[in-house]
Amino acid sequence: MNALKLFNVRDDCLVFYSLYQLCQTYAAESVGGAVKLNHKLSRIAINWVGGLHHAKKCEASDIVLAILELLKYHKHVLYVDIDIRDIGCEKGKYYDVNVPLDDGIDDASFQSLFKPII
């Protein structure tokens, strides 16, 4: 099996020598941020590097790990993915919102869509 397929790395994912170590680090940071939120040690947690690789039901990413941590203390978790791909499926269908955007969209146009949706 191709190593890229084995590790769920596709054309839109960065590939470099220390990718595994980076994934370990940003996953730990995402979970750490969720722990701080759960224990009220922080009001906001942002991981600018997180979410680089896609999550699936049986292949968790850092965001899935962070959400699972948040669900230990919270009944609901809102996940906002600004790289929206679909409308969901099965029981989750229509819990996602897909807004196709043209290449080269400017900040004002993006904000005019993002703010009303959120």
39, 54, 74, 76: the catalytic one is: 54
Q: In whole angstroms, give the CA distance from residue 77 to residue 71.
A: 7
104 residue type, one letter:
G
Q: What six digits make up the tokens of 90?
A: 């099965």
Instruction: Say which DSSP state 72 is in.
Output: T
Asked about 39 being catalytic, the answer comes back as no
Q: Give first-to-last CA distance, the chain, whole Å.
A: 41
24 token code pair: 């370990």
**Active site positions, annotated:** 54
